[in-house]
Amino acid sequence: MGQNIIEKIMSAHLREGEYVPGKEVGIRIDQTLTQDATGTMAYLQFEAMGLKEIKTDLSVSYVDHNTVQVGFENADDHKYLATVAAKYGVVYSRPGNGICHQVHLERFGKPGTTLLGSDSHTPTGGGIGQIAIGAGGLDVAVAMGGGLFYTAAPKVYLVKLTGELQPWVTAKDVVLKMLELLSTKGNVGVMLEYGGPGVKKLSVPQRATIANMGAEMGVTASVFPSDNVTRKFMKAQGREADWSELKADRGAKYDRVIELDLSAVEPMAACPHSPGIVKKISELEGKAVDQVCIGSCTNSSYKDMMTAAEVLKGRKVHASVSLGVAPGSRQVLQMLARKGALANLLDSGARILESACGFCIGNHFSPKSGGVSLRTSNRNFEARSGTADAQVYLVSPEVAAAAAVTGKFTDPRKAGIPYPNVKEPAACLVDDSMFIKPTPELKSTEVFRGPNLGEPPKNDKMPEQLNGAVMIVVGDKITTDHIMPAGARLKYRSNVPKYAQYVFENVDGTFAKRALESKAAGAHNVIVAGESYGQGSSREHAAMCPMYLGVKAVAAKSFERIHAANLLNFGIAPLTFKNPADYASIQAGDKLTCADWRAAAAEGRPVMLKNGRTGASIECVCALSARQRAILAAGGLLNHTTGK
């Protein structure tokens, strides 16, 4: 039987388990990437495990999140990252070199390989034919040391593309259409493979945009074929030797086929406060706009930026709009400058922002109170922009640029602006001087450790009995931003006791204090949640910090993949209600107990929780592999790996 692309790559990297959808497998990882918001802890964990060298083909440490220097914390952590990379053999991408996903696509992505990154948008690499997966930093640290990455063998859905995108319609509109079709939940354990004749009409940056926002659907990865389009992209980057063809065999099987006619797609927007709330721009036309942000790892390629610059050329940003533009990489910024496009942007009144994650993670350029902000990024969760009541919409660069000029939602097809038919460059400006690559001499580097840098926290072994205290009950689609705020708080990422003070800050500001008091009293803290708990970022601090506060279990209707894995990695049991209706019977303050909690989890039996207030027994499922059960019993992956 013929294999699809995903089966080919997974099979070639399979080292443990059998490829049966839903069953756990261990795969070899060829490449890893980290970014400074999650990477700092990943390298601390790498050191804590006693690992001495990198055993992947390539590992890269990017600095792209916390580039705003307010206080010493970020600068100190950047110095730590630079020195630890030098010592252990990691490529270090200096601040200002660009956003990890775009830079990795440009300079290192390789068809047919596996990439594991400590960022949920690592699947961007699928645009070049990689199986690229986001994970917690601890999983990435293990992979850097040569360990396997464990995941469920996926179901594979084929997205069969036909037709061709019309002028002013973009890859961003395609992926928003996919979000309309698949939504942001219910896709755990799925990988998407894009195929069909329409694929040939999409450039690698367009494919990468679509693969990037597969993270918002909750799929593990999204993969495109490696074809002549891929070859041209890699040739433009001076890396044609890294290209290889990758396509599905004739007769390849899929668990589901989704058909999408590119010619029928029209400009779209994701509305507040979820990437899954999708409307056509034509339904929003005329709505006033306060702010426009063009950039992020989703939409800041050369073509994206050149298109926006052409729209703005000879025009002025509307008086009511503040426009910020952040090219995704230094390469793109340099090319814009040499083409004169940077001057066009500046002449229009745009503010040029650093080639970094910045506005996307709420680190700067927040909207005004209640402001309407159009952004080309991938997430619009409530308060993620840094302004609690902002109304953030996700759109294409074309829609964003048109709104910047008109001051309102405008269908760019009706804006009276000539279509800027920007072509992909045949040759890109290649300047790798902002990478510090490993050398034998650098192995003697002394690792710098600033005062904000702490040791990775460890959990206790799983207790025999659960003496649970429900600290909070939350609803559906709780994101890692709800659990662990980003933005300015990220500078405490390497200081867990400090960062833990902000757990659920935007949901219940008393949570951290109450949880610590409950932990001190000997209780095992419990979080109760609805569907799709842990959407969004791979930020393992959303598990690590609750663990520090004494959380031992999360009982939910369902979990998202990365967060469920992170909970296990830090010794927190992800419990799923067998009867979802039981969720409504639990209140904050309830006592949930289980006399044989550890034994039930270890043996794969149902975990029966008794509610002290109601007397009811609540059956929960803790569906884990034997490996995962051992990790949970040990109190987390760090304990399990070190044997402590």
Residue 114: how many CA atoms within 13 Å on its side-chain side? 27
The pTM score is 0.95
DSSP class of residue 104 equals H
Concatenated DSSP letters of 396-443? -HHHHHHHHHHSB---GGGS------PPPPSS-----TTEE---GGGG
pLDDT given for residue 538 in this prediction:
79
Reference 104, options 62, 148, 43, 70; nearest CA is 62
Distance CA(115)–CA(31), nearest Å, equals 5
| Residue tagged 């690559």 (tokens) | 437
Distance CA(411)–CA(491), nearest Å, equals 39
Do 132 and 126 meet the contact criterion of CB atoms below 8 Å apart?
Answer: yes
Q: What are phi and psi of 496, to 5 degrees?
A: -60, -45
Tokens of 479: 């994101």
Reference 192, options 246, 134, 262, 255; nearest CA is 255
| 64 catalytic residue (yes or no) | yes
Residue 449: how many CA atoms within 13 Å on its side-chain side? 11
Angle value at C-alpha 499, between 493 and 83, nearest 5 degrees: 25
Size of the chain in residues: 644
Distance CA(340)–CA(294), nearest Å, equals 18
For residue 299, the tally of other CB atoms under 10 A from its CB is 33
**Catalytic residue among 64, 77, 290, 304, which?**
64
CA 328 to the chain's CA centroid = 16
For residue 28, the tally of other CB atoms under 10 A from its CB is 18
pLDDT given for residue 487 in this prediction:
78
Distance CA(274)–CA(298), nearest Å, equals 16
Tokens of 286: 């005329």
**Catalytic residue among 28, 104, 379, 640, which?**
379
Do 35 and 66 meet the contact criterion of CB atoms below 8 Å apart?
Answer: no
**Catalytic residue among 101, 493, 524, 539, which?**
539
pLDDT given for residue 408 in this prediction:
98
Peptide bond into 273 cis (omega under 30): yes
Annotate 68-77 with b (16+ C-beta within 10 A) or e (fewer).
beeeebbbbb
Question: Which are the contacts of 48, defined by CB distance < 8 A and separation ≥ 6?
Answer: 455, 456, 638, 642
**Catalytic residue among 59, 396, 537, 538, which?**
537
Task: For the chain, list the domains and their CATH numbers.
Answer: 5-264 (3.30.499.10), 268-412 (3.30.499.10), 466-642 (3.20.19.10)
Strands, E assignment, 163-240: 190-195, 221-223
Distance CA(591)–CA(470), nearest Å, equals 6
Tokens of 386: 């840094």
Distance CA(578)–CA(606), nearest Å, equals 9
Distance CA(599)–CA(465), nearest Å, equals 9
| 119 catalytic residue (yes or no) | yes
Residue 312: how many CA atoms within 13 Å on its side-chain side? 34
Query: In which residue ranges of the chain is pLDDT below 70?
Result: 644
Concatenated DSSP letters of 538-581? --THHHHHHHHTTEEEEEES-B-HHHHHHHHHTT-EEEEESSGG
Distance CA(475)–CA(479), nearest Å, equals 10
Q: In what order do the strands lie in the sheet with 221-223?
A: 221-223, 190-195, 155-162, 256-261
CA 78 to the chain's CA centroid = 21
| 65 catalytic residue (yes or no) | yes
- For the segment 70-128, what is each residue's pLDDT rounded down to a tens digit? 889 899 999 999 999 999 999 999 999 999 999 999 999 999 999 999 999 999 999 99
Distance CA(299)–CA(359), nearest Å, equals 13
Reference 626, options 23, 57, 4, 153; nearest CA is 23
pLDDT given for residue 358 in this prediction:
86
**Catalytic residue among 13, 30, 59, 65, which?**
65
**Catalytic residue among 76, 77, 119, 304, which?**
119
- For the segment 437-456, what is each residue's pLDDT rounded down to a tens digit? 999 999 999 999 999 888 88
Tokens of 278: 């999708």
Reference 627, options 565, 560, 551; nearest CA is 565
| Residue tagged 């999983």 (tokens) | 139
- The H-or-E segment that residue 322 falls in is strand 322-326
Query: For the chain, first and last CA: distance in Å?
Result: 46
| 107 catalytic residue (yes or no) | no
